[in-house]
Amino acid sequence: MWLYVARRILYAVPIALGVTVFCFALVYLAPGNPLQLLLPPDASAEVVELIKKTYGFDKPIPVQYATWLGRALTGDLGVSIATNRPVIGEVLGALSNTIILSLSAVMLAFSLAFTLGVVAAYFNGRWVDRTVTGFSIVGVSVPNYWLGMVLIIVFAVNMNWLPATGMGTKGSESFSLFDWEQLKHAILPVVTMSMIPLGIIMRTTRSAVAEVLNHDFVQTLRAKGLGEGAVVRHAVRNALPSVLAVMGLQFGYLMGGSILVETIFTWPGTGFLLNKAILTRDIPVLQGTILVLALIFVATNLVVDLVQTAVDPRIKRA
Amino acid sequence: MKTRWGRLMAAGLALGLGTAGAALPGRAAETTLRVAMTAGDIPDVTGQPDQGFEGYRFVGYSIYDALLKWDLTKSDVEASLKPGLATKWYVDPADTKRWIFELRPDVKFHDGCPFNADTVVWNVQRLTDNTVPQFVAKQFAAMRTRTVNIDRAEKIDDLKVAIVMKEPDSLFYIQMSFWMMVSKCQFEKAGGDNAKYALMPSGTGPYKFDKFVPRERLELVKNADYWDKPRIPKHDRLVLIPMPEATTRAAALLAGQVDFIEAPSPDTVPRLKQAGMNVLTNAYPHNWAYQPNFVDGPFKDKRVRQAANYALNRADMKEMLGGFMIEGFATVPPNSAWYGNPKKYEYDTKKATALLKEAGCYPCEVTFAISTSGSGQMQPLPMNELVKAQLEEAGFKVKLEVMDWNALLDVTFKGREKFPQYHAVNVSRATQDPFSGIFRFAMKSQNAPAGGNWGWYYNAEIEDLIKKIYTTFDETERNKMIIKVHEIMNEDAAMIWVAHDVNPRALSPKLKGFVQAQSWFQDLTPIVVNDKTN
């Protein structure tokens, strides 16, 4: 097992490194110039040079990359061009906010989707199944930025039940989901973000459990007189690895793909940070955020693989 | 691990089952004005703000004062300059390169340190001299066009300072209205570290720094000892929240989360009005236009530029924007002191077509560089589409090259020489002062990439006039010449003028006392927040 874990971790290293090279190159290939944020439209060549030097943009790109990566390995991601604050602080501050949203959304999605998916699989082909499947299609298809807007209009503007934006007056520095005043700020974005994973996890659970329920061994279990509850437990255990894999991937997608939802709800997470960094070409922040998100995605996949293996040792052998 | 997952699961379920809650609790003991800015982040609090003029509007002029300040007390005339931390300013009669500023006595920074000539000299060095410890490269870069002509600052006595120019500059005093005076004591208390100073900034302005949560909010409190007594804020706390999405800002106002929003999109205005919000607009120094390429392509012919101006039906544009614009026929809006009597290119398609045929460019193929969004760009995509349709009706064939704001700035910055394929660029401009609003689009020395003259417009008469303007210290005489420059540019069709924004804002009915000035800057201090009205 430990050898398997070590091998998986080693596989993850070149992937993470490849991602950093790709992201670094991508940022430089995009049109525009990060220095424009700092410079007036009429800046002279002398000022441009000074600023280039200040932020290290005067060096060749491979040198900039090597320097950046070397510092990144020690936890120094440079300084934001826009705010002058250390990028690592910016990213980690935002990251904790995004984790709150993404993890809550995946937990919410998983708790509902898994239950409904198992029920749909058990009643395969009947109206319960058709209803749940229909709901999952809606969940997968609805654009989350649209859903977010609708939820704001209904629950914040018309009913005035929940806040439309932000993390509350205390801000993210003391944010807790167990504080009702702050929890209220998270409800709408979490529900919005949970919709797509809800649909996907529900469909995966339904098809995985239904497939297991069709296997011959299930008939054998029933023939031996096992109760329906125990039969379903067996089916669920067999279907769990694929559902966990999907859940892990969804968490990864939510971590990196929350730009629109966080912008709509003014939720100061990595999505909001990325949006700002893209608009202002704040390259250090852009690179730092992408790097951290990519590493989280790689780490999530690693954890999912290991959890899957723990649940179903056949995977390791495969 | 198991416990943490259990907690998170509980939180997830709690969210799923979460039901109604009341709106945010207010602070019972104090009144708070909450403003949703269009900015994506909180502007720099360490002196010269970033985030364009929004940074000045909400952070710069709240925490700090400049030597001169904008009179924002009236809504019916364009804002003008008045004494700030300087009570008088004039050119030394013996040497026109020396601007003398007489400083206001008995002014203290928020940290208790006195404001005096030493502080001014220290502040001038901070943004002009990269050898001093207080030098800040980022702010130096941002202020460079305003500081480039400064040779040095000299203390005359405790309350008198001379700023010595490299060349005579009759318009220099305007630049001092953009220069935030930072507390030398506080900067030194922060160990000369700008990042540390950002957590304890200190100015002489109407609000004091209280706290800030990165990317989320900046909280300022009333400076009860403010030297400008009528401008002591009528509310206790000012909360500034970055909220870049227009629909979100409107929703936050409707939900009672904020009290004052910037730039609601036109389609949300009826809903805001229906909910009792006050939607305010006013003219201000803004120009939404195209800068043509005077060297490459059809616009080098004046007749083609004039044709483009005649082809525009600005009334239709205004209707499309729900009335939120002033028709633009010139660089500065009609309320400006430098407007004069420019040639007015009223909508006339036939005349436009005739001019194109006379110029031998029919159909006349042109390519415009435009952006999807950006500071002051209003609603760039539908506006550009309408311009394209109107120009094509007259005989143009328009190609729109759409790019993001930063890419368009890159095109603008590098100029026509680097991008000869574009025949015009669509970048909005502030026309607050004659140089920023007018001259930099006309002077040869400003030809991009050296300056803002993107398309390399040139007129010998304008060159001569601008030289005279900079050495004319009589304001009436100088204004006459500025008007002349403005009128010549119009006759030359130096731009394709479309609109001047009116900068809508929406305010909760519980706010009273706001006067929307004809300026990019606004004064929030007179706003009274009546929480009982909500």
Q: How many CB pairs under 8 A join A and B?
A: 216
Residue B409, pLDDT score: 82
Give chain B positions within 8 Å (CB) of A54. 137-138
Distances (CA, A) of B333 to B130, B499, B502: 38, 9, 11
> Is A33 in CB contact (< 8 Å) with chain B?
yes
Name the phi and psi angles at A311, rounded to 5. -75, -40
Average pLDDT score, chain B: 90
Write the DSSP string, B98-128: EEEEEEPTT-B-TTSPBP-HHHHHHHHHHHH
Report yes or no: A29 at the B interface, CB cutoff 8 Å: no
A306 touching B, CB under 8 A? no
Mean pLDDT, consecutive 10-residue stretches, chain A (318 aa), reads 79 82 73 66 69 78 84 84 83 90 91 90 86 87 90 91 86 77 91 92 89 81 79 81 83 81 91 84 83 84 79 62
> Is the CB of residue B206 less than 8 Å from the CB of residue B222?
yes
Quote the DSSP letter at residue B518. Answer: B
What is the 3-state composition of chain B as percent helix, strand, coil, each rounded to the nearest 5? 35, 20, 45
Listed by number, the residues of chain B in 379-408 with a beta carbon closer than 8 Å to a beta carbon of chain A are 403-407
Give the per-residue pLDDT at B47.
93
Whether residue B104 contacts residue B115, with contact meaning beta carbons closer than 8 Å, is answered with yes
- For residue B130, the distance in angstroms to the closest alpha carbon of chain A comes to 10
Q: Which residue in the set B130, B405, B446 is minimally distant from A279, CB to CB?
A: B405
Whether residues A160 and B256 touch (CB distance < 8 A) is answered with yes
Residue from B45, B135, B150, B216 to probe the interface with A (highest A Cβ count within 10 Å)? B216
Helix then strand then coil, in percent of chain A rounded to 5, is: 75, 0, 20
Distance CA A32, CA B409 (A): 7
Tell me the whole-structure pTM to 2 decimals.
0.84
Cα gap A201→A205, rounded to integer Å: 6
Which residues in chain A are closer than 8 Å to B23, comparing Cβ atoms? 160, 163
Q: Does residue A49 belong to the interface with chain B, where contact is any CB pair within 8 Å?
A: no
Tell me which H or E stretch contains A184. Answer: helix A180-213
B385 CB burial (10 A radius; 0-12, 13-18, 19+):
middle
Partners of residue A47 in chain B, C-beta under 8 Å: 140-141, 144
pLDDT score recorded for residue B216: 87
Amino acid at B319: E
- What pLDDT shows up at residue B28? 52
Chain A residues in contact with B247 by the CB 8 A cut-off are 149, 264
CA dihedral sign, ordered B188, B189, B191, B195: negative
Taken as a whole, chain B contains a residue count of: 534
| pLDDT value of position A27 | 67
Q: How far is B199 from chain A (nearest CA, A)?
A: 11
Distance of CA B3 to the CA centre of its chain: 52
What's residue B8's pLDDT? 44
Question: Using an 8 Å Cβ cutoff, are B522 and B282 in contact?
Answer: no
What's the pLDDT at A41? 57
Q: Which of residues 44-103 of B touch A (CB under 8 A)?
A: 44, 46, 50
CB contact (8 A) between residue B406 and residue A164: no
Using a CB-CB distance cutoff of 8 angstroms, which residues of chain A are in contact with residue B372?
A: none
The reply to whether residue B216 touches residue A166, judged by beta carbons under 8 angstroms, is yes
Nearest to B141 among A43, A160, A165 (CB): A43
Query: B510: distance to nearest CA of chain A, Å?
Result: 17
CA distance B450 to chain A (A): 6
> What does the DSSP assignment read for B377-392?
--SHHHHHHHHHHHHH
Stretches where chain B sits below pLDDT 50 are 1-27, 533-534
CB half-sphere exposure, B445, CA atoms < 13 A? 9
**Contacts for A17 with CB less than 8 Å, ≥ 6 apart:** none
> Are B356 and B304 in contact, with CB atoms under 8 Å apart?
yes
Is A286 within 8 Å of chain B by CB? Answer: no
Q: How far apart are CA B240 and CA B262, in angstroms?
A: 11
Which chain B residue shows the shortest CA-CA distance from A83? B44
B93 upstream amide cis, omega within 30 of 0: no
Chain B residues within an 8 Å CB radius of A94: 215
